Chain A
């Protein structure tokens, strides 16, 4: 199974890394991170503005 987040990374650090990569696999990882964040938002409430901005980028 692919390791989407390196153990020493926060979630947004992992998302930024994948968004800045041109590798198609990284784009998919970014979409998967976005899905997890959207679930977290749905269950626990709003995310911070920085994460919301990254989410928009991940979904483009």
Chain B
């Protein structure tokens, strides 16, 4: 079987078994392509991302649930937790043999890169559109509440400009705390620094005086 035959067979398999169209909707977030398989092995929607290519490395499609905050200082990572299997290395990053088969079929399909970049985590989680991904957005709402409570009106402006300015999350300097601990009232924002974190894992963090 030629490479082209293998690619065509994989794409046909994905469409027939999992309902993935030949030209599936795809977005790119943090240099990773993301798609949602309509009917995963358990019959539910399953998100996958294509790993970034390192020097001499192949890319692979891995399952994940959402983009979630690690904590206030590292505001975004791909949530692959449910697919890690340190005790079964052969399945690590896939979770089950069924998802491994699906991931490898996606690899074989050699799908073209996503044509649409998305910069804001809520849009990524909205694209995935599962209960887990939409609940993850509520975690990001905590950041907004905190920033708005401490840095109004600047926080409102930044939140409104989030997509245009490629801002992931807006944090007040004191960071995220449980909603119950939010301070009462709204402080004057002019002296409070706001961090704009535009990529996961603090790769690109800068401070802005408001």
* B and A form one assembly: yes
Known contacts A11-B69, A48-B71, A48-B73: A1-B82 contact under CB 8 Å: yes
**B71 & A12 in contact (Cβ 8 Å cutoff):** yes
In the bound complex, do residue A5 and residue B79 qualify as a contact, i.e. CB atoms below 8 Å apart?
A: yes
Q: How many residues of B contact A (CB 8 A)?
A: 34
Chain A contact residues: helix, strand, loop or mixed: helix
Across the two chains, which residue of chain B brings its CB closest to A39? B80
CB-CB < 8 A to B96: which residues of A?
1
Tally of chain A residues near chain B (CB < 8 A): 33
Contact pick for B135, options A2, A7, A37, A43, CB 8 Å: A7
What sequence of 0s and 1s flags, for each residue 83-101 of chain B, a beta carbon within 8 Å of any chain A beta carbon? 0111100001001100000
Residue ranges of A at the interface with B (Cβ–Cβ < 8 Å) = 1-5, 7-14, 28-29, 31-33, 35-37, 39-41, 43-51
- Residues of B in contact with A (beta carbons under 8 Å apart): 30, 51-52, 68-71, 73-74, 77-82, 84-87, 92, 95-96, 131-132, 135-136, 138-139, 176, 199-203
